[in-house]
Amino acid sequence: MQNLLTTEQLNSLKSEMKKKHRDLLVKRFFSNKLALFGSILMTVIVLLAIISPFFTSFTPYELDPVKRLQPPGAEHFFGTDNYGRDLFSRIVNGARVSLIIGFAVAIITSILGMIIGLYSAYYKKLDGVLMRISDGLMAFPAILLAIAIMASLGPRLENVIIALVIVFTPSVARTVRSAALVVKEQTYVEALRAQGASASRIIWLNIATNVLSPLIVQATFIFADSIIIEAALSFLGAGIPAPDPSWGNLLYDGKTVIFNAWWMTLFPGIAIMLSVFGLNLFGDGLRDLLDPHTTKAKK
Amino acid sequence: MKGYILRRLLSLIPVLFVVAVVVFLLMHITPGDPAAVILGPEASPDEIAELRENLGLNRPVTEQFVSWFGGVLQGDLGNSIFMKQPVLQAFFEHLGPTLSLAIMAQILAIVVAIPLGILAAKFRGSFLDQTFMGISLLGISIPSFLLGLFLILLVGVELKWLPVAGYKPLNDGLWNHIKYLILPAIALGSMQAALIARMTRSSMLDVLNANYIKTARSKGVKESFIVIKHTLRNAFIPILTIIGHTFGTLVAGAAVVETVFNIPGIGQLIINSVERRDFAVIQGSVLLIAVSYVLINLVIDLLYGVIDPRVRLGRK
Amino acid sequence: MSDLLLEVKNLKVHFDTENGRVTAVDDVSFSVKQGETVGVVGESGCGKSVTAESILRLLDEKHTNYEGNIFFQEKDILRFRYSELQKLRGNDISMIFQDPMSSLNPVYTVGNQIVEALLLHQNLTKKEAEEKAVDMLRLTGIPLPEKRVNEYPHELSGGMRQRVMIAMALSCKPKLLIADEPTTALDVTIQSQILDLIKDLKDEFNMGTIMITHDLGVVAEVCTKVVVMYLGQVIEEASVESIFSSPLHPYTQGLLKSIPHIEGPRDEKLYVIEGKVPTLNQIPAGCRFAPRCEFATDLCRTEKPQLDSYENDRKVRCWHFKEIQEKGGVMNGNRNESDKVRS
């Protein structure tokens, strides 16, 4: 016990352990086939959304009344819609709308939810007020609240994001709060407080880093839910305004001709399904990975 | 038990108050003048001014809230501008189909999901388990309105087994009533079923590992009895919770599914009101659904006490 | 022998895990006679609980493989069909577990749980079973049994719950009782009460009893015969008197030395068995105790010793037990040296 480790040695030891831990996580993630499949699915969808406008031969708005409602074929991969527009390029553009909304909502709700959750975990008085508000907001079914907000704000992409942020922030705040409460009770946080560390330092440097795992997992699921709700809103006419290609709009168009043009319902539908499925698989995998409870249960 | 009920009731007051505030604010977050939005671009300034006066929009916001909230407490949710009838009346006229649909979907989900969840837990890791869980994850990934569209494509357009649109009230005969609701109920109930099945499975797994299950086995209790008597009841609280928590989603989902299948329920009422900017109807319907969601979850909380004696004593 | 109740013969229990097959119990043999109390002693992880649960086949059989025999009244439990097993459990052989807090189902009254056992195995009406349940509770010394019978487990204290477990286990008058660390989770004062209760009831019912424990004090109090286990094997078997007066295996000697004595000087250092129990996937090639044994020779490290009979009723698994006995067993003296090595 004479020669204690120097700080340097300790740090290198620490980083080595961290690396080992990270390697283990990466290994486990890749051994989880479903999660891997989910992330591949998502990568493909994102890539398609980004690069395909460069090689599709049609724009999503190009009307061609002669070629209305053509079934899938060589020229139009997924067929055409009731205005003769190319369904494939509309679906790919719809993917961009969905991904932008899903990503924006996931990021903004995470930030807002983290701030609200952390501060309500730390300050008891604030907690009472904020959590009652979030209870109240969570009493509304997500889609319904989104519809009602959209009814007031008017159909626009930005408004869809605002509505979804209002809908999902309370549940994120709750998740962060409950994770933060656990950390807050731990001895080392008590010790920090006793040392006179400032509240914001404790909150952001010590508690925040420990709530990231559940937050990331939940953000993935919110991404998926946002895609679903945006599609539903647009399908109902309360989301993205009409000529823009969003998956919900495509389904709305498809429904009017469902007995004549199956492809107009099937392909956008599959697009929604695959991206949500991919995100769910990915989220499930992440949760197994980051939450020791569920990994332990698997013997 | 009485103290428990009382405490739960008291805790509802702030939640319901927040619900009311949110619903009230819905109309006031509209960019610009709500009266102008309601009447549309063709309205004359006089008409707009008159509507502003009628809606009380000229008064301070707090005053507006107090009078609106006072009305709500007395059961007055305002009047539909478009339909020229009280919101409450319009709501209850459209409630029947939605309730029928939601209940059918819920029953369908429970009847399918709980046995599947139990089987998956009992045969954990087996092919059966993995298949069920894979399907359930897929089920969670298909939103109900999309599944509805797929069902119309498959059953309505291809197979022509069941009607794909419309609604027949119960007065037209039970089978007629059910026939029109089968596809919507499947569409609506499948995500619910997937959630319940997953919760049943994980909750059953937790309990199956409990020591008292080993005790029961050591007494010579039959395996089927261990699952039904000893495990299910202990596993039921999380299952019940998820059923309660997702009931709101179910009702809201019904609103969307109704549009797919042209069912004249609350969903259509709300969607039509969104198009018509009939704010009072939207506000009233959303308020009623949120309040019923809160009350349903209260009932579920109280049911915990029936299932688990430990809750009865007020311990958590 | 007609009074032979249970005979475990060359029992091996393998588990199939993610990391391959693990043998938790390796060639264990012992027997229990009617009215006899056999203690099975060892550190945690030595396979004593696995052995106990094998007797009722409570382990998850999807991942478990048995070898050998467990004869109960000359019939092999390991060859039982499932329906035979159900008739055996709780009726001929009963078991009580370590943690009375979690061993009773929280959503049923204790009466309900005792009645369940009675209705399964005995031809009783529900009413008779309920009366019997009250009788059983009274027998286990629970005050106001008529009232307690309608209470839920969480309304009872730990000691009370263990009494309920005992009442339940004995309700069908089993021929064999397996008690898996029945007092470990209880307060010290309650422990001896529960042990006394088990002892009294064992005499009253004339049962064979297997007492699984890591506590040699418990063994001294209730057992007639002791089986000492180490790393999945039986390493010594003897009567309680012989074990306490002249333990043969160095491990047993170490275990006995590590018990504090009330009479001894306070500042005397307790004996410590050096090293750690190896895990089941790194079992030593020769004698399993060799890496921790102060007498280990090359023979010990390479060749597996057998469980040999000694005198008439003793068995021991050690190459050198005779020499060790002549040397006077494990010593305090040579500890100092290794103490230095450690620090």
Residues C287-297: tens digit of each pLDDT: 888 888 888 88
Average pLDDT over residues B259-271: 89
In this structure, the answer to whether residues C168 and C257 fall within a common structural domain is: no
Whether the CB of C143 is below 8 Å from some CB of chain B: the reply is no
Quote the percentage of chain A above a pLDDT of 90: 24
Higher pLDDT: B97 or C325? It is B97
Confidence of residue C264 (pLDDT cuts 50, 70, 90): low
- Residues A230-258 have pLDDT tens digits of 999 999 888 888 778 889 888 888 888 88
> Please, how many CA atoms are within 13 Å of residue A195, restricted to the half-sphere of its CB?
9
* pLDDT of C282 strictly over 50: yes
* pLDDT of C180 strictly over 80: yes
- Residues A260-295 have pLDDT tens digits of 788 888 889 999 999 999 998 888 888 877 765 543
Confidence of residue B314 (pLDDT cuts 50, 70, 90): very low
Contact A151 B273 (CB under 8 A): yes
Please check whether residue C314 lies inside any domain of the structure: yes
Contact B219 C154 (CB under 8 A): no
Please check whether residue C90 lies inside any domain of the structure: no
Contact A139 B294 (CB under 8 A): yes
Contact B221 C116 (CB under 8 A): yes
Question: How many whole angstroms separate alpha carbon A133 and alpha carbon B22?
Answer: 9
Candidates B211, B222, B309; nearest CB to C103: B211
pLDDT of residue A5: 59
- Tokens representing C77 are 């439990």
* pLDDT of B168 strictly over 70: yes
Question: How many whole angstroms separate alpha carbon B298 and alpha carbon A3?
Answer: 62
CA-nearest of C154, C119, C206, C130 to B219 is C119
CA distance B59 to chain A (A): 20
pLDDT of residue C78: 92
- Tokens representing A188 are 């080392």
- Residues A7-56 have pLDDT tens digits of 677 677 777 777 777 777 777 666 677 788 888 888 888 888 888 777 66
Total structural domains within chain C = 2
C-chain residue closest to B233, CA distance: C107
* pLDDT of A296 strictly over 50: no
> Which residues of chain C does B211 touch, with a Cβ-Cβ cutoff of 8 Å?
97, 99, 102-103
Mean pLDDT of chain B, nearest integer: 85
Indicate the helix (H) or strand (E) that contains B197. helix B174-208
Quote the percentage of chain A above a pLDDT of 70: 87
Average pLDDT over residues C216-242: 90
- Domain ranges in chain B are 95-280
Question: How many whole angstroms separate alpha carbon C90 and alpha carbon A93?
Answer: 67
Contact B260 A143 (CB under 8 A): no
**Domains in chain A: ranges and CATH:** 34-297 (1.10.3720.10)
Q: Which long-range contacts link B80-85 to residues 24+ away (Cβ below 8 Å)? A: B80/B273, B80/B278, B80/B280, B80/B281, B81/B38, B81/B51, B81/B278, B81/B280, B82/B273, B82/B276, B82/B278, B82/B281, B83/B278, B83/B281
- Residues B82-135 have pLDDT tens digits of 778 888 999 999 998 998 899 999 999 999 999 999 999 888 878 888 888 888
A-chain residue closest to B261, CA distance: A255
Confidence of residue C339 (pLDDT cuts 50, 70, 90): very low
Average pLDDT over residues B227-248: 85
What number does CATH give the domain B95-280? Answer: 1.10.3720.10
CA distance C56 to chain B (A): 7
Whether the CB of A216 is below 8 Å from some CB of chain B: the reply is no
Please check whether residue C328 lies inside any domain of the structure: yes
pLDDT of residue C179: 92
Candidates B214, B223, B307; nearest CB to C107: B307
Helical ranges in C140-260 per DSSP H: 145-148, 158-170, 188-205, 216-222, 240-245, 250-257
pLDDT of residue B223: 87
Please check whether residue C27 lies inside any domain of the structure: no
Whether the CB of B145 is below 8 Å from some CB of chain A: the reply is yes
pLDDT of residue C332: 46
pLDDT of residue C262: 65
Candidates B211, B212, B220; nearest CB to C120: B220
pLDDT of residue C261: 67
Average pLDDT over residues A49-67: 72
Candidates B217, B222, B307; nearest CB to C58: B217
CA distance C167 to chain B (A): 12
Domain span at residue C157 reads 102-172
Candidates B146, B205, B277; nearest CB to A269: B146
Confidence of residue C334 (pLDDT cuts 50, 70, 90): very low
Question: How many whole angstroms separate alpha carbon A214 and alpha carbon B154?
Answer: 39
Average pLDDT over residues A202-206: 82
